[in-house]
Every structure is written in structure tokens, then in C-alpha cells.
Structure 1
Amino acid sequence: METFLSIYLNDQLALGVGWRELAKRSRAANRDTPLGAALETVATGITEDVATFEVLMRRLGVRRNLVKSALVFGAERLGRLKPNGRLWRYSPLSRFEELEFLVMGIEGKKQLWATLRDLAGLAERLPDVDFDALIDRAGQQVAVIEPFRERAGREAFLLA
């Protein structure tokens, strides 16, 4: 079982790296706007969550699989090349999809923390880790960007 936990943790860490990079990219594309400020908060939170996750892995004695993280990092970079309805510029669809993917990732992170707490039994093994606080923090991150996601979706699809 410990092998499965190690694989799961490395898979989730790799995804966290991808969400972190997406949040940073979206923040940069929306700099000097209210959305950019919201994404600054979310990107910082995701970065902190990845660091927390890395500490958790070290405490469990799980070695980081650098290949998985590098592959997801590269996939996020390649994702920037996909068509977005505009040849050279950031489009309303780009904004919406970035926010949509971020919300999906953060909701997945809430599930991750609950899985580790409840199904992997880490609440007992690591009693000083406040999984409930981590779940709440993810909920706060969604709350910060959800209004922007909804607005971006309306703008993207009304302009189409």
C-alpha cells in the first residue's frame, strides 16, 4: 500500500505544480486588473499548498518523482500554444479556460486533502497537519476567483 500512496502523492504533486504554473501565467496575463490581484492571492496560496505538500511528502519519507513534475510543467507550457480564437493575443476564451481549469484544480485539491485525511489515514499519522484548514483554504481560493470565472465565461461566449 505504501507504494500506492507514494505514487498517488507524486501524481498529485505534479498536478499541483501544473496548477501553480497556470495560476502564475494567468496572473501575468491579467496584471494591473482586479482579476490580476485575485490571481495573485490564488497563485500565492497554490504555491504555499505545493510547499506544504512537499513537506508532507518528506515527513512521510516519500521521494519526489522529478520526472512527473517536469512532464506536467512542460505540458502546462505546451498548453499555451493551443488555439484560442486569436492569433497573437490573449483572448476572452483564454481567460475563461484558465480560470475554469484553476477552479477544477482547486476543487480537486479539496478532494485531495480529504482523501489524505480520511482514506489514506494521514490525520492519524500526521496529527499536527490541519487538513480541515487546508480544505477551507482551497474553498477560499475558489471563492476569490469564481466571480471572475463566471464573468469571463459570459464575456467569452457572448463575444463568440
Structure 2
Amino acid sequence: MYSDKLGIYLNDHLAGATFGIGIARRMAHQHRHSARGADLARIAEEIAQDRETLLQIMDSLGVPARRYKIYGGWAAERLGRLKPNGVLYRRSGLSTFVELETLRLGVEGKTLIWRTLLVVATKGGQLDESQLRSLLDRAREQIDTLEAMRITVAAALFSDRGER
């Protein structure tokens, strides 16, 4: 039962990581020529690396990746692109703002899995605690970067002369 619950939990986070990679890569591509481009590209690459690490951890724990969860994360990201943004035919500043918030929330969730796996590591000894601490530190840095971007976009978007 313990491994079943852990398997469900890890696969749920795998779906979230799949969603996160999609949104992060799309944002990095859309903002590649902006001041935020390099940071978004770095974060997208790190999220992809973290997803691969999660898959390796799952393998080391004998937890199979559930394809339907992976496809669900992929589909959710694609469907999320259909959200209304107040502009009919192009992106608006609100799109960027909401995507930054969504990405930040996803990275917050990633900190939770690394913290949870630190608890699992102390009980089972199958996981590398120093690796998990490094992943947690990197996620915190990503949160700080995304929050700085989010605040900058919010200031521009919601000011009297902000983008509409």
C-alpha cells in the first residue's frame, strides 16, 4: 500500500512536470528576444532536467511511469492555451502574467515533492539526500526568478498606462 500511494503521488507530479515543461518552453520561445528570455530558457531547461530526475527516482524506487498521467499533463497544458485573455487574436500582457503565475505555482509544487522525497529518503535510504536538497534549492531559485518577473509584469500590466 505504501508503494501504491507513493506511485500515485509521483505520477501525479510527473503529470505536473509534463504540464510545466510545456508552458515553460512555450514562454521561453515567446519571450526569446526579451529581457526575460534567457531566464525563461534556463528555467525551462531546468524543469526538463528535473522531470528526467523524477523519472530516474521513480525507476530507482520501482515506480512505473503511467502514460495516461503523462498524456493528461500534456493535454492540460495544450488546453490551457485556450483561456480567454481579453484580446481576440493575439496574446495580451495578461496571458504572460497568468502564465508566470501558473509556472510559479508549478515550481512551488515541485518544492513539495522534493521535500516529501527527503522524508522518504531518510526512511528508505534509496534516495540521495544531497541531490534532493540541491533540487529543492534550485526550485527555490526558480521561484525567486519567476516572482521577480511576475512583479515586473504586474506593475506594467496593472498601472494606469499598462498594457491592455
TM bucket normalised to smaller: over 0.9
SS at the partner of 1:34? coil
TM-score when normalising by structure 1: 0.93
Whether the 8 Å contact between 1:14 and 1:68 is mirrored in structure 2 is: yes
TM-score when normalising by structure 2: 0.91
Whether the 8 Å contact between 1:17 and 1:50 is mirrored in structure 2 is: yes
Whether the 8 Å contact between 1:29 and 1:90 is mirrored in structure 2 is: no
CA distance in 2, matches of 1:127, 1:35: 34
* Farther-moved stretch of structure 1 (123-132 vs 44-53): 123-132
Partner AA of 1:104 in structure 2: L
CA distance in 1, matches of 2:149, 2:50: 22
* Farther-moved stretch of structure 1 (122-131 vs 27-36): 122-131
Structure 1: which 5+ residue stretches go unaligned? none
SS at the partner of 2:86? coil
Shift of 1:122: 2.4
Once superposed, what is the RMSD of the aligned Cα atoms?
A: 1.3
CA distance in 2, matches of 1:34, 1:142: 17
The match for 1:105 is: 106
Shift of 1:127: 4.2
SS at the partner of 1:145? helix
Give the fraction of aligned pairs with identical amino acids, expressed as a percent: 38
Moved over 4 A (4+): none
Shift of 1:145: 2.3
CA distance in 1, matches of 2:125, 2:35: 41
Q: How many residues align?
A: 158
Whether the 8 Å contact between 2:121 and 2:128 is mirrored in structure 1 is: no
CA distance in 2, matches of 1:100, 1:127: 31
The match for 1:147 is: 148
